[in-house]
């Protein structure tokens, strides 16, 4: 099965950057009569499997939406358990990340994290900083509106101090003030668990991403599901506002 699906992937036309909204842990657990944290624990297995799968394929950037700014409003016990699980997992995975040449990045409002969690996170970032294989970006305490407001503030400050003039502001300037400034835009965005929405994730960066929705709950999502999403992506025509005919003349499908 694995071999079958993976052989359908055109390795010359892989998305450079895949972003995933890892949704459905809570429902997965509730359906089994367990509490929501049980689902989050199992979700970590999927994270390991998908990071490994992406690295094996040669994907360059993988962004995982792990915790949104809005998720802080969940019941305190769930928030506490989830935060602990996330930071603990990141810390424990550092040796595996290093072994596989994976560099960890974090985007989000880290000031909202408890001081110790922030420090452990920083250590993991430092310990993997020299790796140049898969760039794994965890969106943690992240929301796109938070990021866009940060960008606006940072541009305003640059104008105020005379480093930048308003007439010089371009799309490139704006990009450079985003939390994702070091990464290309995702070409493929996957959301698990059957919800058809973006939930405040990379609103600016997803402008031309292909969106892929699957009913599979995140704890059940494995490499094969990732391959299916990539195959689906590769069968689409990305037009960027042009006509299909123009696109086919520019770059015939290999
Ligand atoms: C995704 O699963 C993980 C986080 C949002 C932190 P959920 O916890 O949202 O699970 P559902 O959507 O309630 O099933
Ligand atoms: C989005 O899932 C955030 C993450 C997966 C981290 P949510 O479960 O929080 O999104 P909504 O509330 O269903 O839109
Ligand atoms: Mg959810």
The two structure tokens encoding residue 250: 């520019």
Query: How far is the centre of ligand 1, averaged over its atoms, from the C-alpha of 24 (Å)?
Result: 5
Catalytic choice (2, 10, 23, 126) = 23
**Is the pLDDT confidence value at 253 over 90?**
no
Domain boundaries, the chain: 18-236
% of residues, the chain, pLDDT over 70: 98
Cα(132) to ligand 2 centroid in Å equals 30
- How do 188-191 and 210-213 pair as beta strands? parallel
Testing ligand 2's pocket by substitution, the residue of 19, 21, 47, 63 carrying the most ligand atoms inside 8 A of its CB is 21
CA distance 213 to 215: 7
pLDDT 10s digits, 71-92: 999 999 999 999 999 999 999 9
Tally: H helices and E strands in the chain: 9, 6
Q: Is the CB of 66 under 6 A from ligand 2?
A: yes
Our answer on whether the CB atom of 189 is closer than 6 Å to any ligand 2 atom is no
Catalytic residue among 10, 35, 49, 71: 71
Among candidate residues 107, 135, 134, the one with its CA nearest the CA of residue 121:
107
Q: With bands split at pLDDT 50, 70 and 90, how would you rate the model's confidence at 2? A: low
Ligand 2 centroid distance, CA of 197 (Å): 9
* Catalytic residue status for 200: no
Distance of CA 240 to the CA centre of its chain: 22
Å from CA of 238 to ligand 1 middle: 30
| Ligand 2 closest atom vs CA 199 | 14
* pLDDT at res. 251: 75
100 is catalytic: no
Question: Phi first, then psi: what are they for 70, rounded to 5°?
Answer: -70, -25
Q: Which fold has domain 18-236?
A: Undecaprenyl pyrophosphate synthetase (3.40.1180)
pLDDT tens, position by position, 12-61: 999 999 999 999 999 999 999 999 999 999 999 999 999 999 999 999 99
Digit-coded pLDDT (tens) for 136-146: 999 999 999 99
């Amino acid at each position: 099965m694995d071999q079958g699906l993976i052989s359908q992937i055109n390795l010359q036309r892989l998305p450079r950057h895949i972003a995933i909204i890892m949704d459905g842990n809570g429902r997965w657990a509730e359906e089994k009569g367990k509490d929501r944290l049980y689902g989050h624990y199992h979700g970590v297995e999927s994270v390991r499997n998908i990071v490994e799968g992406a690295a094996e394929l040669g994907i360059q950037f993988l962004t995982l939406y792990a915790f949104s700014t809005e998720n802080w409003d969940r019941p305190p016990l769930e928030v506490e358990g989830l935060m602990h699980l996330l930071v603990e997992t990141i810390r424990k995975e550092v040796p595996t990340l290093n072994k596989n040449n994976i560099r960890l990045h974090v985007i989000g409002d880290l000031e909202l994290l408890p001081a110790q969690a922030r420090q452990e996170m920083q250590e993991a970032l430092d310990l993997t900083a020299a790796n140049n294989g898969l760039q794994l970006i965890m969106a943690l305490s992240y929301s796109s509106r938070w990021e866009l407001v940060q960008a606006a503030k940072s541009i305003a400050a640059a104008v105020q101090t005379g480093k930048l003039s308003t007439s010089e502001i371009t799309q490139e300037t704006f990009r450079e003030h985003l939390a994702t400034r070091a990464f290309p835009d995702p070409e493929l965005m996957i959301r698990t668990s059957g919800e058809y929405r973006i939930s405040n994730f990379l609103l600016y960066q997803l402008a031309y991403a292909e969106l892929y929705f699957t009913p599979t709950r995140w704890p059940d999502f494995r490499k094969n599901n990732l391959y299916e999403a990539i195959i689906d992506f590769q069968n689409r025509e990305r037009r960027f506002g042009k006509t299909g005919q123009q696109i086919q003349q520019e770059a015939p499908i290999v």
